[in-house]
Amino acid sequence: MQKSFFNKKLVIVLIALIISFLLIAFSIAVRNNRKAPTFVQQIGNDAAGIVDRVVSYPLDGAKNA
C-alpha cells in the first residue's frame, strides 16, 4: 500500500515538472517573437524607473555634498 502511494506521488511530481518546463519554453518562444514589451511590462518598467529616480535623487545630493 505504501509503495503504491509513493509511485502515484512520483508520477504526479514528474508530470508537474514536465508541464512547468513546457510552460517556460512556450513563454520564451512567445517572448522572442514579440517586437515590443507587453502593456503590463511597460507599466512595470515605468514604475521601476520612477522609483529609481526618486531613490537616486537624494543619494546623489548626499554624494555631491
- pTM recorded for the entire structure: 0.47
State yes or no: pLDDT of 2 exceeds 70. Answer: no
Q: What would the DSSP string read from start to end of the chain?
A: -HHHHHHHHHHHHHHHHHHHHHHHHHHHHHHHH-SS--HHHHHHHHHHHHHHHHHHHHHHHHHH-
Q: What is the pLDDT of residues 25-61, one digit of tens each?
A: 998 888 777 777 778 888 999 999 999 999 998 888 8
pLDDT at 53: 94
Domain ranges of the chain: 1-34, 37-65
